[in-house]
Amino acid sequence: MNKISNLLWGLVFIVVGVIFGLNALDITNINVFFDGWWTLFIIIPCFIGLFKNKDISGDLIGLIIGICLLLGCQGLIKFTLMLKLIVPTILVMIGISIIFKDTLNNKVKKEIKKLNKKEMKEYCSCFSGQTVDFNNEEFTGCSISAVFGGVKCDLKNAIIDSDVVINANSIFGGITIYVPEDVNVKIGSTCIFGGVSDERKNKTKDAKYTIYINATSMFGGVEIK
């Protein structure tokens, strides 16, 4: 997934660079600042997010909104009609994502629910940033919240001898979780205008223990590295 997203971003910059170059040489006269050009800053990231994030509901909603705004700027859709339909569309998309998410990730959610019965430490960053390091410590799970802030959770050298869960809640913030290479990672997420991305280079599928990431993201993000 990461290779696909990198490829798409690379193609975007190449195309934009070629257009600017051809315009500078007077070979073409492509107007890159057309009516509604700013909507591309919504459309392109959301489109690429469909190939990058585990939960694509937020990206899909953002993509639909971006396209509608572009069509409105182009005069193909009346803004009054778009404003009437935008809220129902968002609600329908959220409902569909919840239905299919519960169906597809039912096994993961059951395991997360079971592991959440254990007592665990809680870490919260509000309008600030912090790093939580479990170097040479036994890790049995935790809850992390980032509200207008950021949290880095380093488990690279943590001692993990059982399945564990990390409850990661990101609201207008960011959470980065560094995991060891010798564990499985399974993700259950709910994202609204946010995303959860697995950035690990070496992914193990037959490890003895699993880290379950129970992520909720609203206008924020959770990264696993």
3-state secondary structure labels for all residues of 86-124: HHHHHHHHHHHHHHHHHHHCHHHHHHHHHHCCCCCEEEE
What is the chain's alpha carbon radius of gyration, rounded to the nearest angstrom?
21
pLDDT at 153: 92
Tokens 């195309």, residue located: 15
Contact partners, residue 197, CB within 8 Å, separation at least 6: 2, 52, 53, 54, 221, 222, 223, 224
For 223, the 3-state DSSP assignment is strand
**Do 52 and 148 share a domain, yes or no?**
no
Give me the number of domains the chain comprises: 2
For residues 114 and 215, membership in a common domain is answered with yes
* Domain edge (last residue) among 75, 104, 133: 104
Is residue 31 located within the same domain as residue 135?
no
Output 175 or 102, whichever has higher pLDDT.
175
Q: What domain range is 124 assigned to?
A: 107-224
Spatial neighbors of 105 by CB under 8 A, at least 6 apart, are 188
Give the tens place of pLDDT for each residue, 60-102. 777 888 888 888 888 888 877 777 777 777 777 767 666 655 5
What pLDDT is stored for residue 98 in this prediction? 62
pLDDT tens sequence across 147-161: 988 999 999 988 888
Which position has the token pair 């479990």?
134
User: 113 and 220 share a domain?
Assistant: yes
Helix (H, G, I), strand (E, B) or coil at 4: helix
Q: What is the pLDDT of residue 181?
A: 84
Looking at the fold, whether 143 and 208 belong to one and the same domain comes out as: yes
Determine the pLDDT at residue 177: 92
Q: What distance in Å separates the CA atoms of residue 68 and residue 36, rounded to the nearest whole number?
A: 10
pLDDT, residue 190, reads 75
Mean pLDDT of the chain: 81
Q: What percent of the chain has pLDDT over 70?
A: 87
**Which H or E run contains 145?**
strand 142-147
pTM over cut 0.75? no
For residues 225 and 206, give the distance between their C-alpha atoms in angstroms, rounded to a whole number: 18
Torsion of CA 172, 189, 110, 176, to 10 degrees: -70
Helices and strands in the chain: count of H runs, count of E runs:
5, 10
For residue 133, the cross-strand partners are 154
DSSP letter, residue 27: S
The two three-digit tokens of residue 193, written as one number: 């205008």
Residue where a domain terminates, one of 45, 70, 104: 104
Assess whether 111 and 72 both reside in one domain. no
Over residues 103-111, the mean pLDDT reads: 67
